[in-house]
Amino acid sequence: MNYYAVFDVGGSSIKYALMNDLGEFIEKSFAPTPEASLKLFVDTVESIVKDFRKKYELKGIAISVPGAVNVETGYIGGVTALPYIHGPSIKELLQDRTHIRVEIENDANCAGLAEGWIGAAKDIKDYLCIVIGTGIGGAIVLDKKIRHGKNRFAGEFGYMIMEDYLEEPIGKTWSTLAATGGLINNVAKREGMESNALTGEKVYELAEGGNKEIQKEIEKFVKRLAVGIYNLQYVIDPEKILIGGAISTREGFIEQINETLNQMKHDEDSLTIQVERCQFGNDSNLIGALYHFIQRQSMHGE
């Protein structure tokens, strides 16, 4: 059995685990994400790795991070809540410090890989994973492999322009309209509230309490989500589309999207568009980061 140190780096915390090559957790915890510098970040990861190595021989270090990750070089493009991870090769820095092989991948791609390995897409080859949160991200998996694209932005579904492109220079994106953050902003505007006074859960509570205006906003939110999914099905035609993010666990949410998609099909009986909930919650990025490491290891014949 091989053992790995696995990290999921977020803006406020780093989740980490000792895992085996079956995707099982041996130990799991978290630490605050250093705000000040890259050196503190590397020091934090190295310290955790040292603790694991006191008990187990490690095969490698697998990391999930935000941003446009070049999996070959370890450089991270794009813009994230952690400016210091952009520029140097995180992969090389950690390999030099720990003398253990490091593999790194984008967090949404890791979530998608987790589902294809031991989750809701384990028996299929082509699928999409759409993660709904403050924005909308995701992963395109074809033949069990992540498609990164020329500029490493494949799967950044939230940037799709959906509405108001005739009246505005660019228009409103799918993230603006159909992410949980977009729903909160639209409800706050309608109710004359500050966005930071609301959460997705609070929005639904107000709707269930009888607020008709918020009920209408939720209906628009679901329809906008369904439109984006409908378009993605026609562009890529995957075997399955999975939905993740905290809102996906809400009772009836997936069923509401599928009902809307079914109404949009019209007479196209041969078209199947149905979404499913991602199987893993907060552990998905850790599981997917490990599977990415194992895939890369296999590519190099190790």
* CATH assignment of the domain containing 163: 3.30.420.40
The span from the CA of 113 to the CA of 124, in Å, is: 12
Residue 302: pLDDT band (50, 70, 90) is: low
What would the pLDDT profile of 113-141 be if each residue is shown by its tens digit? 999 999 999 999 999 999 998 889 899 99
Query: Do residue 167 and residue 264 come from a single domain?
Result: yes
Identify whether 117 is part of a domain.
Answer: no
Q: Beta strands 127-132 and 136-142: pairing type?
A: antiparallel
Identify whether 61 is part of a domain.
Answer: yes
CA angle 31, 34, 39 (to 5 degrees): 120
pTM for this entry: 0.86
Are the C-beta atoms of residues 288 and 114 closer than 8 Å to each other? yes
pLDDT score of 266? 67
Query: Do residue 150 and residue 289 come from a single domain?
Result: no
What would the pLDDT profile of 251-288 be if each residue is shown by its tens digit? 999 999 999 998 887 666 667 788 999 998 889 999 99
Query: Do residue 234 and residue 132 come from a single domain?
Result: yes
Query: Do residue 181 and residue 245 come from a single domain?
Result: yes
Element (H, E) at 148: none
What would the pLDDT profile of 53-105 be if each residue is shown by its tens digit? 999 999 999 999 998 999 999 999 888 888 999 988 999 999 999 999 999 99
What would the pLDDT profile of 178-210 be if each residue is shown by its tens digit? 999 999 999 998 888 888 888 889 999 999 999
| Sequence-ordered list of residues with C-beta below 8 angstroms from that of 86, at least 6 positions apart, any chain | 67, 76, 77, 78, 79, 80
Query: Do residue 127 and residue 268 come from a single domain?
Result: yes
pLDDT score of 167? 81
Are the C-beta atoms of residues 154 and 168 closer than 8 Å to each other? no
Tokens describing residue 80: 């994230």
Query: What's the DSSP call for residue 160?
Result: -
How many domains, the chain?
2
